[in-house]
């Protein structure tokens, strides 16, 4: 493998969460009956004209600023001409030569913990197409134009990504960013966030890029990773067996886990781009851009840096906690209850809470334990009322029964034993019951220490303060 280097560029399509379409007043809600949200403009009726949705422009500017990109004072909508039944006008309105956003970048964290800057070539506004329906329509194809005219921003990366893992990390980062900015709901199942991956391989150290294949319409992080890995292997095998990669568009089949050819470059359309004469150029002045900048929220990287600095978290934990705005906000509400224990709070939020949410397939907003209650649990760990281990039991009870931490501790008698005398008594009992093990331990079998700890914990129902137990046990065993 190391003889080859993978080169990947992603084109991410994020659906902007405007209420109406980019060039018409139709609603953009997901899941409406076919063609219920398609008016005459969306249907491309004779004589109708597009009118640009100002909110879509504002959202694109937000993204551009968050990417540290250049916002074009003058950008132009163009027509991309091709025939397809789900494209009512016979052209897609998109931005071609003069996109609204150019020359941005964002940082991803690699597996070894180091940061890598990924260039964003451009981001442009465009309208989505409709979709063809085949299910339940034998012999014919149905067309649903509800999605036609939905605003998209296409975010095009530089070919800076070097592995499927990097590609996924980058896509996740963009996913986080668009949700922070509240410009896209990020729902990948509904197609609100998807990407095309341009993949090529070259001999390690080579300067020229290899011929690339474009894998279309990947709508999950898992598919992105699998499709790229499959494609990389396919290309390497092809070249090593004397073949040549052809420039083409490929589709990923998630059932078979492979990519297959859709159309080659020769079959590719000549899109005959030209500026759309129905739309004026988008002119943005500095005052407008400034007003958008002032309205930007704290961005994920800024928030993560603040978590490291203010709460003493690791970069990794800070990254996990800031992966979504809601998640970060939840964490900060927990910290506000126990400002003295931000690390402990982070452990619980990224540990027990994340696992429980994941298990029950819930978003943070639907957590069964609110931030205040979780703060109460953290407090009891911090003040040594319970141990970390007991905390897991308390958490489960809180999660399933909706109780506060103190109520669980009280009703189940889980309060930690911190009375040295009480712990000593139990140790004495355990030692008395296990003379053989004691002799072995004293004879040099240090490993038996764990056995004694276990026995004491068992006898106390896990409530003995671990630190105290360790110290007292060591003393007693030594004789």
Partner 1 sequence: MSSFHTLSLTELAQGLRARRFSSVEVTGSFLERIERHQGTLNAFISITREAALAQAAAADRALAQGTGGVLTGVPIAHKDIFCTEGVRTTCGSRMLDNFVSPYDATVVSRLKAAGAVTLGKTNMDEFAMGSSNETSFYGPVKNPWNTALVPGGSSGGSAAAVAARLAPAATATDTGGSIRQPAALCGVTGVKPTYGRVSRYGMIAFASSLDQGGIICASAADAALVLREMAGFDPKDSTSVDAPVPDYVGELGRPLKGLKIGLLKEFFEKGLDRAVEQRIREALAIYEELGAQLTEVSLPHLPLSVPVYYVVAPAECSSNLARFDGVRFGHRCENPRDLQDLYRRSRGEGFGPEVKRRIMTGTYVLSAGYYDAYYLKAQRVRALINEDFIRAFKSVDVLIGPTTPTPAFELGAKTSDPITMYLNDIYTIGANLAGLPGASIPCGFVGELPVGLQVVGPHFSEARVLQVADAFQRQTDWHTRVPKAFA
Which residues are near partner 1 by CB under 8 A? Answer: 40, 43-52, 79, 81, 83, 85, 88-91, 143, 270, 272-274, 277-280
Cβ-based nearer residue to partner 1, 138 or 242: 138
Cβ-based nearer residue to partner 1, 92 or 385: 92
Q: Which of 350, 348, 357 is nearest to 395 (CA)?
A: 348
Cβ-based nearer residue to partner 1, 83 or 134: 83
* Minimum distance of partner 1 from residue 215's CB (angstroms): 24
- The three-state DSSP-derived secondary structure of 91-160 is EEEEECCCCCEEEEEEEEECCCCCEEEEEEEEEEEEECCCEEECCCCCCCCEEECCCCCCEEEEEEECCC
* Minimum distance of partner 1 from residue 48's CB (angstroms): 7
Q: How many CA atoms lie within 13 A of 290 on its CB side?
A: 3
* Minimum distance of partner 1 from residue 12's CB (angstroms): 26
Cβ-based nearer residue to partner 1, 44 or 351: 44
Cα 272 vs. chain centroid, distance in angstroms? 36
Cβ-based nearer residue to partner 1, 143 or 197: 143
Q: Which of 99, 52, 49, 94 is nearest to 71 (CA)?
A: 99
Cβ-based nearer residue to partner 1, 237 or 278: 278
* Minimum distance of partner 1 from residue 85's CB (angstroms): 5
What is the C-alpha to C-alpha distance for residues 30 and 279, in angstroms, rounded to an integer? 27
* Minimum distance of partner 1 from residue 61's CB (angstroms): 19
* Minimum distance of partner 1 from residue 275's CB (angstroms): 9
Q: Which of 465, 393, 398 is nearest to 426 (CA)?
A: 465
What is the C-alpha to C-alpha distance for residues 326 and 401, in angstroms, rounded to an integer? 24
The total number of residues shown for the chain amounts to 479
What is the C-alpha to C-alpha distance for residues 16 and 13, in angstroms, rounded to an integer? 9
Q: Are strands 213-218 and 248-253 parallel, antiparallel or unpaired?
A: parallel
């Amino acid at each position: 493998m190391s003889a080859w280097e993978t080169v990947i560029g992603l084109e991410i399509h994020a659906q902007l969460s405007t209420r109406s379409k980019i060039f018409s007043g139709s609603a953009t809600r997901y899941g409406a009956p076919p063609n219920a949200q398609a008016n005459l403009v969306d249907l491309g009726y004779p004589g109708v004209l597009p009118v640009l949705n100002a909110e879509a422009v504002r959202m694109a500017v937000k993204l551009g600023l968050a990417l540290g990109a250049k916002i074009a004072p003058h950008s132009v909508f163009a027509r991309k001409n091709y025939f397809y039944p789900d494209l009512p006008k016979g052209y897609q309105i998109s931005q071609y030569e003069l996109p609204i956003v150019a020359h941005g970048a964002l940082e991803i964290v690699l597996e070894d913990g180091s940061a890598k800057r990924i260039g964003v070539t451009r981001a442009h506004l465009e309208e989505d197409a409709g979709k063809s329906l085949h299910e339940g329509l034998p012999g014919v194809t149905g067309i649903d134009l509800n999605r036609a005219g939905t605003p998209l921003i296409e975010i095009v990366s530089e070919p800076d990504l070097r592995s499927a893992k990097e590609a996924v990390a980058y896509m996740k980062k963009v996913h986080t960013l668009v949700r922070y900015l509240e410009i896209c709901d990020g729902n990948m199942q509904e197609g609100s966030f998807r990407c095309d991956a341009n993949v090529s391989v070259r001999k390690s150290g080579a300067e020229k890029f290899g011929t690339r294949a474009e894998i279309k319409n990947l709508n999950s992080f898992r598919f992105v990773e699998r499709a790229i890995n499959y494609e990389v292997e396919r290309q390497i095998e092809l070249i090593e067996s004397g073949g040549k990669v052809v420039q083409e568009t490929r589709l990923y089949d998630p059932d078979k886990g492979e990519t297959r050819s859709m159309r080659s470059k020769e079959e590719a359309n000549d899109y005959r781009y030209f500026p759309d004469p129905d739309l004026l150029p988008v002119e943005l002045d500095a005052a407008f851009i400034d007003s958008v900048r002032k309205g930007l929220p704290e961005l994920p990287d800024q928030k993560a840096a603040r978590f490291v600095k203010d709460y003493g978290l690791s970069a990794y934990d800070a990254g996990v906690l800031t992966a979504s705005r809601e998640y970060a906000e939840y964490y900060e509400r927990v910290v506000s209850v126990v400002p003295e224990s931000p690390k402990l709070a982070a452990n619980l939020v990224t540990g027990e809470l994340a696992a429980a949410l994941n298990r029950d397939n819930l978003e943070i907003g639907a957590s069964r334990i609110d931030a205040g209650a979780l703060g109460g649990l953290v407090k009891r760990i911090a003040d040594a009322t319970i141990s970390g281990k007991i905390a897991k039991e308390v958490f489960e009870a809180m999660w399933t029964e909706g109780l506060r931490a103190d109520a669980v501790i009280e009703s189940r008698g889980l309060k930690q034993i911190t009375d040295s005398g009480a712990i000593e008594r139990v140790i004495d009992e355990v030692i008395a019951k296990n003379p053989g093990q004691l002799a072995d331990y004293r004879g040099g079998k240090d490993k038996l220490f764990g056995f004694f700890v276990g026995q004491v914990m068992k006898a106390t129902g896990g409530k003995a303060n671990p630190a105290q137990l360790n110290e007292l046990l060591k003393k007693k065993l030594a004789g």
